[in-house]
Chains A and B, each alone.
Chain A
Amino acid sequence: MFKMSRNLILILLGAVMLLVVTACVPAASPAGDAGAGGEQVTIRFVSNHGDVEVPIFEEVIGKFEAEFPNVKVDYLNATSQFEDTIKTQGVGGSLPDVWYARTFLTSDYATKGWTLNLASLIDRDDVDVDDFWAAQIAQMSYEGDLYALPYDFSNVGIYYNKDIFDEMGVDYPTSDWTMEEMAEIAEQFVEKDADGNITRWGLNIFPWSWPWLGILQANGGAIFNEDQTECVINSAENLATLEFFKEMRNKGIYPESGATPEGLEPFSNGLVAMTFEGSWGTQGTRDRVGDKFDFDVVAMPKGSTGRRGITPAGGAWSIASTSEHPEEAWEFIKFLTSTDSTNTLISDHMRSIPGRKSSVPRWTEVALSGELPPANVGVFGEMMEEAYEIVYPQFWGDYDIAWSNLMVPAIVGGDGVLGPAEALEQMEKQCNEAIANSQ
């Protein structure tokens, strides 16, 4: 082996390089097919969903391709670091034709000029915009024009364990309840063991940034000013809300961070009597609870303003402004968001609230068929009518990072972390930084 001559080595090297090149001939057809109405066109479509959704998408794509035989959809489901990939492709100028654009990012993408302004297409084709949720239209718009068509829309309600309520002789919550009443009710379920460790809490909450926009506002606190040019989160009302939650935490009403077992879902294991849960959680909760206990859902409680703290957020589809086949891409997202497709994609599987009001009856029908709990599942749709019309600003990504670093520990506790007052102060500072950086 070691007696090979120099020539042979060079030949070997060359052969290897050749192999590399030929072995890597692109397997997928390039998206740049010449296509003007009638000729074969391929569009790239990227979703960011779980593996269970893939076959459903493929079903809808199949129907689309049957109706539009000259268009082929090259579908990819990207599961991890999806946003990074889109951003890299965005800067590099090779975005997919259609991709999943969460409403958190609408203004971000629009300010960068990556998404197509759909206003003229919507007018031209007479798309029924009234069928969309008003709050979602606000979130999918930038400077008054729509930049995406809706997929689903989500909000947060409160599930409660009826068995535990019965056991403790507490009346079920009604939709009239306030946050203080929620705390009072939850406190009755707190149980401790002989050593004083808490073995059952009253409530499980979400400390995430977006639901809290609604919670803070329901108590009269604001996060941004009118045109989102300044952050005003450090206010007396917000401090009061945070102190209110902190007191709940100290009483053991909801678990401190690190208090519940890792890898265990608290509600389905009876560790809490109530829990925040999203409109997307119906099927998951049913799977986890099984027939361990009976449960139902109630709307978010009212804050000091008399309104409920409902923040919506959702998924939508955008078209790349650099797409070479905007017409075909437009037909595709219209198809994806039609009532029929929405029924297939969302209602039939109870994903979250459909992005179309006309799909809600089917969603409710599926949810209530089989007579499984929660019986009151229609409340998610009802809440959507009262949701705050929140628009996520262009700097939402930075806001989110600051929130998880500063505010989440203030809400869920932790040793050596900033308390509510300092956290709010820091948060406002970082938020204003983010605003300044986005100019």
Chain B
Amino acid sequence: MFLPKTKLARSEALSGYLYIMPWILGFLLFTAIPIIASIYLAFTSYRGYGDINWIGFANFTKMFTGDDIFWQSAKVTLIYVIGFLPPGLVLGYSIALLMNRDVPGITFFRTIYYLPAILTGVAVAMMWQFVFHREFGILNSILGWFGIVRISWLNDTRWVMVAFIIMGLWGVGSGMIIYLAGLQSIPSDLYEAATIDGANPWQKLWKITIPLTTPVIFFNLVTGMIATFQIFTTAFIMTEGGPNYATYFFSVNIYHTTFRSLRLGYASAMALVLFLLILGLTSIVLYTSSRWVYYSGGVEVDA
């Protein structure tokens, strides 16, 4: 534990606390209590009415040994994370590199690429159902040019996950603008100096661009992980978790358990498990980050 010894260090520590006070206050007022309530509920059998009965680890025992749907949720969520996150990160970064070029009309392109990220809701879901339709969907038409047989994307337990990954990648523009902000912050003198030294574009990418954007890569990786594990809306609107629970992600499961059955105790228990899972994986990323994330400010951080 870092303890400030000198007067200067103590004053610095005090300032630090002062500046994060907005977060601390907000956390205590609005976040801590609901989260603590939820953790408490995980050990009860509360059903939204009546008494709150403490049942210890019973929810967890049931979850791990007697609930097939729980394991199904875990499986499909993990598959989605592994299938979507790496391509998503790479694609987002690549597009951001493209968007960073100072060609005329780039503003227009940036808007187009960012557009999917702001479209939400039932209208978009309808649009996707149109794209993925087995007989008349655009995707199958295009695949048909390559002689690939028609796939019933949203009704096939094996392909529906691919459809979800495609839908996720369509919205990769939101990660893009964060990368863009990072790219824009790199001083252009660096590139000029490198050119003078005879560097080619590939070297510039690997020696300047990527290292200097590791802070935002790190950000997108962590927030991406956190968000991807909680994927919900698309499955909720389009497939209700099916067919045959093939898209019954963790969040969908928790939602149904919370609002259809109002089994708040059990839902809280599942949320706790999900939370610990995400926390565990994120901690690993955080822990290794000091080795590959470079902050040009020269400040040491542990994460």
Contacts and interface: CB of A to CB of B under 8 A. Distances in A.
Given A91-B264, A261-B133, 17 more contacts: A83-B259, A91-B262, A111-B49, A113-B50, A258-B134, A258-B155, A261-B136, A262-B137, A398-B256, A401-B240, A401-B260, A406-B244, A409-B242, A414-B152, A414-B156, A414-B243, A415-B157
A234 B50 CA distance: 34
A236 to B, nearest CB: 23
A416 B243 CA distance: 9
A413 B48 CA distance: 37
B59 to A, nearest CB: 11
Chain B interface main SS type: loop
Contact of B241 (A397, A401, A434): A401
Contacts, number: 103
A169 interface: no
Interface of B: 47-50, 69, 126, 129-130, 133-137, 151-152, 154-159, 240-245, 248, 256, 259-264, 266
Contacts of A406: 244-245
A395 B263 CA distance: 11
23 contacts: A84-B259, A91-B49, A112-B47, A112-B262, A113-B49, A197-B135, A258-B133, A260-B135, A262-B133, A263-B129, A395-B261, A397-B261, A398-B256, A398-B260, A404-B240, A405-B240, A405-B245, A409-B155, A409-B244, A414-B157, A415-B155, A418-B244, A437-B263
B176 to A, nearest CB: 29
Contact of A408 (B242, B248, B261): B242
B157 A416 contact: yes
B261 A438 contact: yes
A49 interface: no
A405 B242 contact: yes
Contacts of B256: 397-398, 401
Contacts of B240: 401, 404-405
Which among B69, B126, B158, B242 has the greatest number of chain A C-beta atoms within 10 A? B242
A405 B244 contact: yes
A87 B260 CA distance: 9
Nearest to B128: A262
Given A258-B135, A261-B135, A262-B130, A405 B259 contact: no
Ranked 5 nearest A-B pairs via Cβ = A258-B134, A397-B260, A414-B155, A415-B156, A416-B157
Nearest to A438: B261
Contacts of A412: 155
Contacts of A409: 155, 242-244
A66 interface: no
A90 interface: yes
A314 to B, nearest CB: 20
A257 B150 CA distance: 13
Nearest to B242: A405
A397 B256 CA distance: 9
Given A405-B241, A414-B243, A263 B157 contact: no
A54 to B, nearest CB: 19
Which among A258, A400, A417 has the greatest number of chain B C-beta atoms within 10 A? A258
B61 to A, nearest CB: 14
Interface string A374-391: 000000000000000000
B135 A259 contact: yes
A262 B125 CA distance: 12
A405 B68 CA distance: 14
A114 interface: yes
